[in-house]
Amino acid sequence: MVNENMNIKTQILDILSKSQGKTVSGVKLSSNLNISRVAIWKHIKALKENGVAITSSSKGYLLCDHEDLLYPFCFDKAIQDRIFHFHEVETTMDKARSLAKSGVKHLSIVVAEHQTKGRGRLNRKWFSSKGGLWFTLILKPDVPAALSYIYNFAASLSLAKSLKKSLNLDISVKWPNDLLLNGYKLAGLLSEMETQGDMVCFLNIGIGINVNNEPKTDEPKSVSLKEILKKNVSRKSILTNFLNEFEQQIQTIEPKKIINQWKQQTSTIGCKVRIETYSDIYTGLAMDVDETGALLLKTDDGVDKKIIYGDCFHTKE
């Protein structure tokens, strides 16, 4: 974990990233950090083994993807103490749970380069190879648990809005909280909560976005930004833009307003769908999403159903 006390590797990356694409000599690193050049070499080797793109030459070391690093020092000073960065974790959801309990601030972010046991909704696996953006947002809102759903809608809405603004792509939200790009799954959200009495202690929203990775999911129809744009996209910018949008979005919590805005971004309403819950499968026409976030379905047998949780697949007919 890299946070308050910058360890040596983080300090090396900090110096390399501030050199703005210029090579930094081993001598300079060793004198700035007061350790031997051999020690610098060993730390650089370990960083490379962890997937950080650094090239070594006779002149020194060059950080190749300094625009895409997700270390706390890469973000605005104001949020650095809220970013918890890991190279590899089983899942950011578990890290976030223990950090939330340990008393980290509202709007902290746990981000990992790679997850070995990424989780999806309904106990599915979430494949999380390097290049994707895998993070969990820790929220500590002072609201009753019954209102927690609105933060998930605010998160998917903010993600869709921020990606559309910055990349000008045809992104929509699929009920409850997936993002689709050209009809393929671009991102998924998963939330976990702890309550005390009626109130939320913490609400963790895990977000997985296929950015520069090659997506592989149990569900075949997925896509990454890199596949569509044919170039790498900065995960740091995506995360920063999303956080700005989300913080603005949750300044006032008015469920009706948030759901109405969300409805403007969704491609689910009016679609033929198949809904899978823990116990049932329904097919029919998605008629609307109500103020509580429930999907109103007219089933193929003409029955009106209100679905509060499940996974939704858009079907052709």
Which residues sit at the interface with ligand BTN, rule CB under 6 A? 91-93, 115, 118-121, 124, 126, 128, 134-136, 178, 188-190, 206-208
Q: How far is the CB of 174 from ligand BTN (least distance, A)?
A: 10
Instruction: Find the angle CA(99)-CA(217)-CA(49) to the nearest 5 degrees.
Output: 60
Nearer to ligand BTN, 79 or 93 (CB): 93
Nearer to ligand BTN, 210 or 241 (CB): 210
Element (H, E) at 285: strand 281-289
Structure token digits, residue 71: 């270390």
Q: How far is the CB of 204 from ligand BTN (least distance, A)?
A: 9
Phi, psi of 9, deg, nearest 5: -60, -40
Q: How far is the CB of 185 from ligand BTN (least distance, A)?
A: 7
Nearer to ligand BTN, 75 or 126 (CB): 126
Instruction: Find the angle CA(231)-CA(13)-CA(20) to the nearest 5 degrees.
Output: 60
Nearer to ligand BTN, 61 or 84 (CB): 84
286 close to 271: Cβ distance less than 8 angstroms: yes
Which residue's C-beta sits nearest to ligand BTN?
188
Cα(239)–Cα(211) distance, rounded to whole angstroms? 11
Nearer to ligand BTN, 92 or 172 (CB): 92
Cα(137)–Cα(100) distance, rounded to whole angstroms? 10
Instruction: Find the angle CA(85)-CA(40)-CA(84) to the nearest 5 degrees.
Output: 5
185 close to 227: Cβ distance less than 8 angstroms: no
State how far Cα 158 lies from the chain centre.
Answer: 12
Q: How far is the CB of 125 from ligand BTN (least distance, A)?
A: 9
169 close to 157: Cβ distance less than 8 angstroms: no
Nearer to ligand BTN, 37 or 221 (CB): 221
Q: How far is the CB of 297 from ligand BTN (least distance, A)?
A: 20
Structure token digits, residue 40: 């610098």
Nearer to ligand BTN, 75 or 134 (CB): 134
Q: How far is the CB of 211 from ligand BTN (least distance, A)?
A: 12
